[in-house]
Structure 1
């Protein structure tokens, strides 16, 4: 899908629009000392994986466009951050541009009502077609990608594996057997970081490649309310495996109070052997633990069948413009998005934060000195049938309470069966709010 090209404004039109916008701004809106500079605010979550690339993009864009200043603001991650975005959009208090999920979570923002459509913008031609469905509603496109595609799976300490003579597992049984040997050697087998509640979801969400391998129609039937996590034996296994590692005593002792940066420290130090997580955190690993970065590898979350072993893939997050951005700021915001969706934008991100997977912007090669964990992920992309998009990119439905439910299951507070049933009710409410047929 390549959106039709729309010609640029003429110089006269741009001047008129900028003049009208300047006339309508209240004092201080543009945030410059001489009144000539347009100031854009850019909201991102407070993870290194978002802040560092955002600041790199802001700096590079400002250097190229000295008449525009981009100021990065931060918000919390997870459910709290979702509420911040939704509240600011509903009250008209959103920043000029902002970072948010692509895929099903975007639909909850009601993009047709809250976001500026980018359909017809020439810079969309720089983006790979596979990205557009994840930032679209109907025929309209609303975002450009930041960062690269990433995998959901397990970061592991290679030094621990080498010392114990372990092999990378391709089945869940092999994974649990490795965990038993690791625990016997006095190392915590599985790191969990439930202080950052979003990290609790990985055993469920990253298992979708295995779900789709067992039930190829799951996404379609799930969207149509013909199956669910509690009703599907394959989908229920993600919750069961979350419970299983807890009940076996395989978790780090401080799993309830640790944030993901702390989990990366434990992994780099060999205090824990496995960390189920998304690969976007590899940049933080490299930034904070550069001496140990090559000691950390990656493998896809194992399933039941070694022959079908593969990776669940997340497409990049999007950068969006709210409808409250107008006039000269809207023009500058679109120019900023055009920069992000360019090879220069990729280069700025690569300099600021180690790439966590392939970019979906054209002509953006990855550097040769990729971290070991990212190199481990790339072969999955090179082989047919070894990658599957995460469920949130092939279905518009994702219940917002999943991260709280998986914390409870992973902490032994709630059983896997109860967690799956509770999540099904959460999904039902979300599907009805979105008006999905069959609900």
Structure 2
């Protein structure tokens, strides 16, 4: 992944989180109807599918913004009618899109992940190369990072937002404990121990949603081994059993053994763990920047005035001064479009990736923009704090945007077993390496 230096003065960089998309569309009508005497010509209507994943209650604001985008685009393109379709995010990613690309019939505009997902879909020849559109609209220099959607120098998608991962903390609890922001791993552990001694949960965790288990390990692993560790898994240059990888995961295992995570974490979903931090029950929450939408919302959080954020402490390794940040969730477009549909796609890109809507998603829902903003007025204080904490640092991608889907699911299941005491980190990673080797062989065979 192309690394970027984040500068608070130039933009609010990153955040995750949302994933939008588009649904399969009916064939578009072409041309326009003949004008009647004394009346202006009327463009023939044509439909463009638009698949999104904004189907949950917490996505109402987000969905309203997308509908405003679609309405504006329709007003700019004569005859255009969008056909929205809401689909569960996991179903869209793991089932529907794979089947549609295999059949050669993807939606016209759709939610897609960058990295391996985009690369695999590009191989089918059914994903639109939008490089000429980006250049025509002058967006290339405005976008913060589109590397995960770039394949062989061509752009096949755009991230709708970005994210970074770090530690949200309760400033009041820290003050009561007599501690400050930790600069080292030992200081971080000392805070956890002091919080536990006072009956306060050091770190929230909702392990039913197993992906959240891997946020800290991913950061620790790269802090120790450097960013090339993640890329190396799929090339065979890195093994899950390498010393620095094992050490990173065993450091996290130590957090589990010492009881620093939420009790009964295996019985909690990610939003439930967030609620515990937001209610003041925990000192810290290792989370993505998207979580500011919950923690800084007075209707959901009682710690708004005590909310802080810090970058995870350096560990003295090759990846110090780097932050897990990515622009992975975005839009893709079908290559099977006519001229009318292509006009609609270009206008959609122009409207959605304008400062108007990129700033709106930041203010309303805490999603960091995909473009550099020139106006930061009205932005929540915690956003400014997040941005300041990562100023001057470089990004590295989350491992699940690089490795094969099975490796992601195997690691998530393995981490749940470690948390439940059914195995240990070293044994889990040895098993994971066997799976990685099998998947790499499959990938090599498919590439032939």
> What is the TM-score of this pair, normalised by structure 2?
0.77
Show the counterpart of 2:47. 38
- What is the CA–CA distance in structure 2 between the aligned matches of 1:74 and 1:256, rounded to whole Å? 29
- The DSSP-based 3-state class of the residue aligned with 2:429 is helix
Could you say if the C-alpha distance between residues 18 and 73 of structure 1 is closer, same or farther in structure 2, counting changes exceeding 3 Å?
Answer: closer
The corresponding residue for 2:394 is: 387
Give the distance between the partners of 1:388 and 1:186, measured in 2 at CA.
Answer: 35
Residue 144 of structure 1: aligned partner: 158
| 8 Å CA contact 2:363, 2:378 repeated in 1 | no
Whether the aligned pair in 2 keeps the contact of 1:267 and 1:273 (CA below 8 Å) is: yes
Residue by residue over 1:21-74, the C-alpha shift from the partner in whole angstroms, topping out at 9 and shown as x without a partner, is 899xxxxxxxxxx98363532223657787744541331341353354545544
Q: Counterpart of 1:400?
A: 408
Is contact 1:193–1:256 with CA below 8 Å preserved after alignment? Answer: yes
Q: Shift of the alpha carbon at 1:118?
A: 0.8
CA distance in 2, matches of 1:49, 1:145: 21
Match of 2:308 among 286, 294, 297: 297
Please name the residue that 2:274 is paired with.
Answer: 264
CA RMSD of aligned residues (A): 3.7
CA distance in 1, matches of 2:168, 2:244: 23
| Aligned partner (choices 365, 371, 390) of residue 353 of structure 1 | 365
Q: 1:400 to 1:56 in 2, by over 3 A?
A: same
SS at match of 2:179: coil
Cα distance in 2 for residues equivalent to 1:73 and 1:293: 35
Shift of 1:320: 0.7
Partner of 1:207: 220
Shift of 1:366: 3.6
Q: Which residue does 1:13 correspond to in 2?
A: none
Work out whether residues 69 and 351 of structure 2, in 8 Å CA contact, stay in contact via their aligned partners in 1: no
Seen in structure 2, the aligned counterparts of structure 1 residues 341 and 310 have a Cα distance that, compared at 3 Å, is same
Would the aligned equivalents of 2:114 and 2:401 in 1 still touch at CA under 8 Å?
Answer: no
Asked if 1 retains the 8 angstrom alpha-carbon contact of 2:296 and 2:307, the reply is no
Aligned residues: 405
2:167 is aligned, of 154, 163, 171, to 154
Cα drift, residue 283 of structure 1: 1.8
Distance 1:437 1:68, change over 3 A: closer
1:236 aligned to 2:236?
no
What is the correspondence of 1:91-240 to structure 2 with a 5 Å cutoff? Answer: 91=103, 94-110=106-122, 112-121=124-133, 122=135, 125-128=138-141, 131-147=145-161, 149-211=162-224, 214-215=225-226, 217-219=228-230, 221-231=232-242, 233-240=243-250
Taking the aligned partners of 1:179 and 1:21, their CA distance within structure 2 comes to 66
Deviations 1:302-354 (A, max 9, x none): 34239945422222522111345556444323321232222233134235422
SS at the partner of 1:422?
helix
Cα distance in 2 for residues equivalent to 1:60 and 1:274? 36
2:40 is aligned to: none
* 1:311 counterpart = 2:323: yes
| CA distance in 2 between partners of 1:396 and 1:376 (Å) | 31
Where does the alignment leave 5 or more consecutive residues of structure 2 unmatched? 3-26, 34-42
